[in-house]
Structure 1
Amino acid sequence: MILTPAQTCGPLFGFALTPPAVTQAVSEDHPDAIVIEGMLLDGRGDHVDYGAFLEFWSDEQACRVRTLEGRFRAVVRKPQPVTLADGHTLAPQLGIFIFTRGLAGPLVTKMFFPDETEANRSDAILQEVPEERRHLLVAQPTGQEGHLQYDIHLQGEQESVFFSLD
């Protein structure tokens, strides 16, 4: 049986949106590979079943993964810092688009790296987020080298920080 997601509009067929060539930005055995694992959770803390897709991207890479029982797994490289025209430098970060049933368009968030404390502290994007919520944008180490945990909460007390596309 092939699972297909329930969508607001569609039908959309999950197997066609995540062919093997797009589910990893680099192979897992690449020396710079970072495995990001997490859960997509609703306001009650329950997982958002299999009906979601996440796109991870930076200037030089992108991959698309889907959730199964709320879990996702992406393999990327840590991006380089980006220097803006005004001379400010952005910390290494990944943009994340979230597509799931019930949404007319994607939610947009970011993921920052836990080993970039100084860069994160001065990042222009993080500076726009209230200080007490900034930690929600930083992945957590798992204790396994090259692996990070990053859960995304769609609502509730631990709701992730989302950004406008405007």
Structure 2
Amino acid sequence: MVQPLNYLKESPSQTAGPYVHIGCTPNFTGIHGVYETDLGSGPLCNDKTRGERITIRGRVIDGSGTPLRDALVEIWQADADGYYNSPSETRGKADPNFFGWGRCPADMATGEFVFETIKPGRVPFNDGRLMAPHVTLWIVARGINIGLHTRMYFSDEEAANAEDPVLNRIEHRVRVPTLIGKREGNTVTFDIYLQGENETVFFDI
């Protein structure tokens, strides 16, 4: 039976901070005893994880060009074979040694977030076309009413990026580079701009 549209009503939104760190990363804020370690902290992989190890580094930058020091960033991604560590993954078996999700508060001095992970494999779009390797990021901070979603693609995947069905839906092509992480060796740098000339593309999902 179909439920009426007003069965569950949307809760009013409010800014994420300053309590987001207390709730999501209590150890980071000096509140110990809630969790042994903060959920999502630490590397997304271990010594047995398949795939190429990479480090993702970046900052969340406001409209004045200043890095936010109270941002919290989460990432989701597929494993090296393109499978998600999720109960809804039906295409194949994900690498049991890859977590697929991480959470990192920005450094309170520099505003930098860091994830130790692997380069993801390609995942099919809903029509079957393969998307380029990417990670999905969710950003919250003081003053952001609703968490922001974006993606990071890889600068060393030019051919895959050119045929990616999501990147190809971006009307203003000059903004596509805001979704490309710059890879140098095993480090990928990806700064997220909230406003201004280099404003990152965010997705309504």
Q: What is the distance in 1 between the residues matched to 2:58 and 2:113? A: 6
Counterpart residue identity of residue 67, structure 1 = A
| 8 A Cα contact 1:154 1:160, kept in partner | yes
Map 1:112-123 onto structure 2 (within 5 A): 112-123=153-164
User: 1:63 matched to which residue of 2?
Assistant: 102
Tell me, what secondary structure is at the counterpart of 1:140? Answer: strand
Q: Tell me, in whole angstroms, the C-alpha distance in 2 between the residues paired with 1:133 and 1:78.
A: 23
Structure 1 consecutive aligned stretches of length 4 or more whose deviation exceeds 4 Å? 27-31
Percent identical residues? 29
Whether the aligned pair in 2 keeps the contact of 1:24 and 1:64 (CA below 8 Å) is no
Q: Which residue of 2 aligns with 1:3?
A: none
Aligned to 1:135: 177
- 1:150 match: 190
Amino acid at match of 2:156: D
For residues 117-153 of structure 1, what are the alpha-carbon distances to aligned partners after superposition, in whole Å with 9 as ceiling and x for unaligned? Answer: 11100101101112111111010123xx211111111
Give 1:84 shift.
3.2
Residues 155, 180 of structure 2: 8 Å contact kept: yes
Q: Separation in 1 of the partners of 2:202 and 2:20?
A: 26
- Judge which range, 82-91 or 28-37, deviates more: 28-37
| 1:82-121 paired onto structure 2 within 5 Å | 82-121=123-162
Task: State the superposition RMSD in angstroms.
Answer: 2.4
Code of the aligned partner of 1:157: E
Please tell me whether residue 26 in structure 1 is matched to residue 67 in structure 2. no
- Count matched residues: 157
Distance in 1 of aligned mates of 2:178 and 2:164 = 15
| Larger relative strand fraction | 1
Kindly indicate which of the two structures has a greater share of residues assigned to helix: 1
Asked if 1:44 corresponds to 2:83, the answer is no
Give, in whole Å, the separation in 1 of the partners of 2:125 and 2:204: 19
Structure 1 residue matching 2:166: 3-state secondary structure: helix
Query: By how many angstroms is 1:112 displaced?
Result: 0.2
Does the Cα contact within 8 Å between 1:66 and 1:72 map onto a contact in 2? yes
Equivalent-residue separation in structure 1 for 2:189 and 2:76 (angstroms): 17
SS at match of 1:74: strand
Cα distance between partner residues in 2 of 1:86 and 1:139: 25
Q: Give me the whole-angstrom Cα distance separating, in 2, the residues matched to 1:95 and 1:52.
A: 16
Conserved? CA contact 1:37–1:148, under 8 Å: yes
The answer to whether the Cα contact below 8 Å between 1:28 and 1:75 also exists between their aligned partners in 2 is: no
Paired residue secondary structure (1:22): coil
Cα distance in 2 for partners of 1:93, 1:162 equals 14
Q: Is the contact made by 2:152 and 2:179 (CA closer than 8 Å) also made in structure 1?
A: yes
TM-score (norm 1): 0.84
| Unmatched tracts of structure 1, length 5 or more | 1-5
Q: Distance in 2 between matches of 1:119 and 1:11?
A: 36
